[in-house]
Chain A
Amino acid sequence: MMNTHNNEPVNDADEYEAPLEGVVVVDLSQFLSGPSAALRLADLGATVIKVERPETGDICRHLYVSDTQIDGDSTIFHAINRNKLGYQADLKHSDDLAKVIKLCEQADVVMHNFRPGVIDRLGLGYDVIKAKNPQVVYAEISGYGKEGEWAKKPGQDLLLQAVSGMTGLSGNAPDGPVPLGLPVIDLWAGALMVQAILAALVRRGITGEGSLVEVNMLEAAADYQIEPMTVHLYDGSLPERTASNNAHALLGAPYGVYETADGYLALAMGRIPQLGELLECPPLLEHEDSNSWFHQRDLIKGHLADHLRTRPTQAWLDVLEPADIWCAQVLNWHDLFAHDGFKVLGMTQTVERGNGTQYDTTCCPIRIDGHRPVAPLGSCDLGEHNAMIEADFQLTQTP
C-alpha cells in the first residue's frame, strides 16, 4: 500500500457538520450508475443502506477488472460501495419485501436502476412508496428511458458510448471508433442523479413536498456531449478528428498531445506564430491568419509534432510556461502519485471493512467548509448490517 494520504492536515472535526447528516437513503441499485450516486450521498453525510439479493448480492461484486480481489469481491465493488450499510433481502419473498417497504417508509431517498417495469412488478414502485411516505424523494436511473424501442436494452456503458456517437471524438482520424477508457456514461448518469436528488431535497426542505426524479443513460450521454452535439445541431457536421495529435475534434491547432524526446506534452492554446518563435520552429511563423489554425490544423500539427520530438519535455516547458502558454507534461499514475501537486490534495484514504480488512481508495472530490469529507468505513459485506438495521428501523415489529 502506498502512504499517499498522510499529507492532508487533520480536519477540524468539531466544527464540521456533514451536509446530508440525518438523511437516510435506501439504495436498491447495482453495478455503477446508481451505486456511484449513493456513494456521493454517503460522502456528503447520508446514511446509505445498500439492499442486495441473497447469495450473489450486487453483480458488481463479481465483475472483476483484474486478477486482484479483496475478500473475494472485485476491486471496483470496494471502490464504489464503501461507507454503506449492507442489507440483504429477497424482494420476491413477501416477508423480506414487507421489511424493505417498511424501510422505504422511513427513508428520505429511495433509489433504483432496474430496467423499466421491474420495480413495479416487485411492488416497490413510486406510487406504492409515495402512498406510504409522501415526502420521499424517489430516484430512478434507466438505460434509455421508459418510452422508446430501446427501453428494454441493457443500459451498459460501452453500448451507450457506441450508439451516442461518443466513439467518434477521441483518438486520431484513422483510428476508427475509440471509446473513452472509463465508464463515463454510468458516472455521468449517477452524477446527474445526485444533482436531481439533492435539488429535490432542497425543495422538500422548503415546501415539504416529495418528488420523483428520473435520469436515463442515453440522455446523460447526450448531455455529456452537449458541446459537440450543439455544434452538430448548428451546422449538421460530424466531429472530425485530426490526422494526428487529436485532443478535441472541434478545436484548431495546437490543441493536442505531442511526443517529445522523452515523453509527451499537452499543448492547449497559443498563437501559432508566437509558438513558432518560442519553439524556434520556422514553418509555424507563416500561419499568421488565425482562421488557418483551424482549417490547416493537420498541417500545423504535423510541423509541431516533427519539431517537439527533438527535445525533452522539460526543455519545452521551460520555454512555454514563462510565456504563459497553456501546456503540461503528460503523467502516468506513478508520476502523478509521486508529485507534490497530487500529494497536497489529500485525495486518497485507507478504509476498513467490518472484518478488519483495510484497503486504499480515493476520497470525495468536494470540500465543504475547508473540510475533506473522509469516512473510515470500507465496503459492506452482503447482509452485514441486517440485524442493526432491523433493530434501528424496527422492521421486525408487528404494528
Chain B
Amino acid sequence: MTRPLEGLVVLEFCQYLAGPWAGLRLADLGARVIKVERPKTGEACRALATKNIYHDGDSLVFHTVNRGKESFAANLKDPNDLETVRQMLLKADVLTHNFRPGVMEKLGLDYDSIKAINPKMVYASVTGYGQKGPWRDKPGQDLLCQALSGVMHLSGKKDAPPTPFGLATADGICGTHLTQGILAALVRRGRTGKGALVEVSLLESMLDMQFESLTTYLNDGNQLPSRSGYCAGHPYQGAPYGVYTTTDGHLVMAMGCLEKLSKVLGVDLLAGACNSKAAFKHGDAIRQRIGAQITTQTTQAWLDVFEAQGIWCAPVMDYESLRQHPAYQVLQMEQAVTRQTAEGQPVSVKTLRSPIRIDGKRLVCQQAAPYVGQHNSQIQTELAQ
C-alpha cells in the first residue's frame, strides 16, 4: 500500500515532545522524516527519561516519539555542517523546529532565509507562548503551560488543589496542531506551488483544547468553572455525569435522563428541591443520592442493569484489564519496532501503532528510533548524486 505522504521529506530540528510528535505522525503517514541532531549526544529527549527507563542508550520516551525516523548528525555552528544542512533543505518539503524565538535567525535558518532558497518550503515552528509578549522567553514546558492555561481548574473535586492532566497534554495537542498546519499548507502548495510559514505554541494549543469551556466562560458572565464536590467527572456536565464507587471498583456514568435513572435505581433522585432542570444546580445532591445506591453492588451488577436500560456507563479499567479485553485486542494497536546495534544485534521496543487507517489498512511501522547520525553517510551520498 502507498501511504498518503510518500515522497515528502521532512527535516526535524525539534527536541523533546511537541515537535517530534508531529514528525512521528508525518512519518506514520508516509513522509521521510530526518531528525537533524547535534553530534554524539543527539537531541535532548534521548536523555529525558520517565521512570528512569533507558533502552539501548536512549530514553524510552525518545523511542516512543521517534520511531520510523532517520537521523542526521550536524553541528549547526560548524560552517561545513551548516552548508550540508542547507543542501538538504533545498530538497526538503517541510522543516520543523522548536527553538526559542531568535535562535534560527542567528543560524541563518529562519523562514525568510529558507524561503529565499526554497520557495516551496513549508516551514513550521513550535514555541511555548508565541513569538512576542512577556512569556516568549519562558521555557515551553508542558506543566508550566498547563499551569498558565487555567486547565488545572477543570479536573478533580471541588476541594482538591489545582489538578494537572497527568500526561504531556500540551505537547501532544500542540504537536497535533503543528501536523494539521503543515498538512493544510501542503494542500495549498499542491494547488498554488507556494510554501508557507506555520506557527503554533503550547499555550494557544491548550487554549484551543478548552475552546468549549472557554466559550461558555466568555458568554456566561465570566463565571469560573466549579468542580463537583462528589463523583466529579467534568465541571460543565450536570448529574449523573461522574465517577461512582461500587463494592469492587468504580464505574462512570455519562449524560442521562434523571427520571429514568430514578426508576432504575428505585430512588427519587429529583425529590425535594431537585428537578431535572437542576442537574447543574443540584448536581452534588443528585450525585450523592446516586452514589449511595451504586456503592451497594458490584461494578458488573450495575453494568448489567444499566446497559439493559441503555444508560451510558462503563467500568473503570486500567492498562492491564484493557489489554486483556478482546474489544481492545481486536484493534491490534500494539507493534514492535526494531533497530540493529553496531554489533548487528536486534533491539526491539513494543509501542502503539498509528491510530489512523487509510483505505481500510492500519499504518504499522517496524523501524525503531534512529541512533544519532545513523543516516549521515546515506544522506551524504544522496546529496552528492
Contacts and interface: CB of A to CB of B under 8 A. Distances in A.
B331 A159 contact: no
Contacts of A231: 50-51, 53, 60
Interface residues of A, number: 151
Interface string A194-213: 11101111110110000111
B234 A201 contact: no
B243 interface: yes
B330 A148 contact: yes
B277 to A, nearest CB: 8
B274 interface: no
B254 A78 contact: no
Given A168-B318, A247-B143, A158 B180 contact: no
Given A66-B220, A177-B250, A222-B355, A162 B317 contact: yes
Interface residues of B, number: 148
Interface string A249-284: 111100101010000101111000000000000000
A65 B216 contact: yes
Interface in B39-59: 50-53, 55
B252 A222 contact: no
Contact of B250 (A159, A176, A239): A176
A344 B194 CA distance: 28
A163 B243 CA distance: 12
Interface string A361-399: 110111111100000000000000000000000000000
B360 A212 contact: yes
A104 B236 CA distance: 35
Contacts of B169: 180, 184, 224
Interface stretch (A48-56, A90-98, A326-334): A326-334
A367 B200 contact: yes
Contacts of B354: 223
A187 B169 CA distance: 12
Interface in A307-332: 324, 326-332
A75 to B, nearest CB: 4
A14 interface: no
Contact of A202 (B5, B138, B197, B317): B5
B314 interface: yes
B154 A218 contact: no
B148 A205 contact: no
B227 A181 contact: yes
A368 B51 contact: no
A114 B61 CA distance: 35
Contact of B317 (A163, A191, A200): A163
Given A68-B216, A220-B355, A369-B197, 9 more contacts: A68-B220, A148-B329, A167-B250, A177-B250, A199-B356, A237-B51, A294-B52, A326-B139, A365-B204
19 contacts: A65-B236, A144-B327, A154-B312, A156-B255, A162-B314, A170-B163, A176-B243, A181-B156, A182-B209, A192-B355, A222-B333, A230-B352, A252-B52, A259-B161, A332-B224, A334-B222, A345-B129, A365-B207, A370-B197
